[in-house]
Amino acid sequence: MVSIAFLTHGTSYLIMTYLLYTVAISQRQASKFYPHLQPPLDNSIHPSQVIINAFFETYIQRRFANGDIHKYVVDLYLDSQERVWIVDFNVWSDRTDALLFDWKYLTELGKTRITQTHSNEINNHSPQQAGDDDEEVNVQDSIPVAEMRVVTKDMKSMTYDPLSSYRGPTDVMDLLGSDGNYTASFEDFRNQCVRPSEM
């Protein structure tokens, strides 16, 4: 695992896993617009998603908790050299922030994804008809691609910082003063204020 202090928020992702398959990927910093995360113009899979999927299938899928936990969320970080780092694992629950998704949608997406995956696997293993090519179908290719969401130009005015509710106005912090003697600072501030009747 990597220390959170050294992460660049623009390359951190939240991966939602339902019954061992990645169903959704969300930009970790849900209040920021990053041009490099925007979907490709040709509607192809984003390069980051390709790297994340390969990492997930190689190092996490059926390995995390020996495959005994089928639904979970994992924080991943993609560095400038395209190396993927595991930051954290979380529970599949509304106790975990779904960021650009909501949990009801994710559960429905997971159920749909599993139905599609099983249907594709059955179709790919069905007996071949006469005249069909003898090439084997790669089951991995038949697995639906996870839905990836990032903050787009249209969304950036609608997003908010989830930590903003813990912040206060900077002038209040200035009034508190660095010495902790907020009473004197506030009295000085109050003396500078002009009542409307005195204007």
pLDDT tens, per residue, the chain with 199 residues: 555 555 677 889 999 999 888 999 999 988 888 999 998 989 899 999 999 999 999 999 999 999 899 999 999 999 989 999 999 999 999 889 999 999 999 999 999 887 877 676 666 655 544 445 444 444 444 567 899 999 988 875 555 555 555 555 555 555 565 555 555 666 776 776 766 666 5
Residue 79 CB: number of other CB atoms within 10 A? 13
Please tell me the distance from the alpha carbon of residue 45 to that of residue 66, in angstroms, as a whole number.
29
- The pLDDT score that the predictor gives to residue 156 is 56
Please tell me the distance from the alpha carbon of residue 99 to that of residue 25, in angstroms, as a whole number.
10
Class of domain 4-159: alpha beta
Task: Using DSSP, state whether 14 is helix, strand or coil.
Answer: strand
Please tell me the distance from the alpha carbon of residue 62 to that of residue 49, in angstroms, as a whole number.
19
Cα 37 from chain centroid? 12
- The pLDDT score that the predictor gives to residue 186 is 63
Please tell me the distance from the alpha carbon of residue 94 to that of residue 101, in angstroms, as a whole number.
11
What ranges do the domains of the chain cover? 4-159, 165-193
- The pLDDT score that the predictor gives to residue 172 is 57
- The pLDDT score that the predictor gives to residue 115 is 83
